[in-house]
């Protein structure tokens, strides 16, 4: 990449979807948790996608072993620390790491707010060691229903000063955004931003709902945008970003042919679209890999790549002064 003067940014990256297979294996041994295989190599397909899955839910099941082994708050802290190290090792300058504390807490009955604190601790400890800037986004896992999401939100809001945004993730099709309007009123009141997974397993109406009722300033995936001209015009006019995740969209079966990914159209229309990893550990990819796909499979030019990087900076939940600082720092590294 010739644009090393621009920071490399990952805005859609799940911390709990990036638990190293080696760490899952080690924690299972440590806590005597039975895994479906007796040797590590045979275990990898259980936690890492091979090729692509039948649908979003089949893909999401790959994340389950990673959280199943989180027996203690120290384990949560450890995976948070390793996430920062992974981002640094991937050459990333700034990442917004998102995590669902209920999903991390549920298997071993951890306290949700304590999981949030452990993640914050792990990230802070790692940021003292690795030169990478990190912010945190809390996830409400819609798959577990309205009440569980309220408990999750309560745990997140107890530490709201350490978060930049709240996200709604999980089973979009069966748990539509309409169910979570009250939750996002609280998010708004807490003065946190909203980024919503929408238009991945459902259509454009899901994205409209996220914008109009949940106050989304960014849309996770947003693949279905291309089906609705008015929606794309609206998002362009209001600077609502699309967090695109190419490999993930292929692996979840959302997109069958990556060369036909609508990111081409989004970029051509001037939409605020950027490139992200989603679940690097589960997918076995990193951010530079996504830029490589953009070049080689989608035929993006240097100018396109530069635009994607500039869009990520613009769409980030950073203050204007922090954005300028990040850009300056990347330029100085040349």
Active site residues: 200
Look at residues 118, 67, 101, 122 and name the one whose alpha carbon lies nearest to residue 281.
Answer: 67
**In this structure, are residues 119 and 77 in contact, taking their beta carbons and an 8 Å threshold?**
yes
**In this structure, are residues 228 and 198 in contact, taking their beta carbons and an 8 Å threshold?**
no
Say whether 2 sits in a helix, a strand or coil: coil
d(CA 206, CA 170): 13
Who's near 213: CB < 8 A, 6+ residues apart? 177, 178, 181, 184
Who's near 182: CB < 8 A, 6+ residues apart? none
| DSSP bridge partners of 133 | 94
- Whats the size of the chain, residue-wise? 334
**In this structure, are residues 121 and 84 in contact, taking their beta carbons and an 8 Å threshold?**
no
d(CA 83, CA 123): 8
């Amino acid at each position: 990449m010739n644009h090393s003067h621009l920071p490399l940014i990952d805005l859609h990256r799940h911390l709990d979807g990036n638990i190293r297979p080696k760490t899952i294996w080690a924690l299972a041994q440590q806590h005597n948790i039975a895994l479906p295989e007796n040797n590590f190599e045979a275990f990898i397909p259980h936690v890492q996608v091979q090729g692509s899955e039948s649908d979003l839910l089949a893909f999401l099941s790959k994340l389950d072993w990673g959280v199943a082994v989180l027996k203690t708050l120290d384990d949560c802290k450890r995976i948070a620390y390793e996430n920062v190290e992974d981002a640094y090792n991937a050459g990333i300058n700034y990442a917004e790491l998102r995590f669902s504390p209920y999903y991390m807490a549920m298997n071993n009955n951890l306290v949700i707010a304590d999981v949030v604190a452990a993640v914050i601790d792990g990230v802070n400890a790692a940021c003292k060691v690795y030169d990478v800037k990190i912010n945190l986004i809390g996830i409400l896992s819609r798959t577990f229903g309205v009440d569980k999401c309220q408990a999750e939100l309560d745990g997140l809001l107890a530490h709201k000063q350490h978060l930049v945004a709240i996200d709604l993730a999980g089973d979009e099709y069966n748990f539509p955004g309409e169910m979570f309007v009250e939750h996002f009123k609280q998010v708004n009141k807490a003065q946190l931003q909203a980024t919503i997974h929408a238009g991945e397993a459902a259509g454009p109406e899901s994205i409209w709902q996220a914008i109009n009722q949940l106050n989304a300033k960014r849309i996770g995936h947003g693949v279905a945008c291309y089906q609705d001209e008015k929606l794309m015009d609206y998002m362009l006019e209001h600077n609502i970003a699309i967090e695109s995740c190419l490999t993930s969209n292929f692996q979840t079966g959302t997109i069958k042919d990556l060369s036909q990914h609508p990111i081409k159209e989004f970029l051509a229309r001037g939409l605020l679209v950027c490139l992200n990893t989603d679940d690097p550990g589960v997918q076995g990819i990193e951010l530079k890999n996504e830029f490589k796909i953009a070049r080689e499979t989608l035929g993006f030019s240097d100018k396109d790549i530069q635009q994607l990087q500039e869009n990520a900076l613009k769409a980030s939940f950073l203050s204007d002064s922090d954005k300028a600082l990040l850009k300056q720092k990347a330029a100085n590294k040349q």
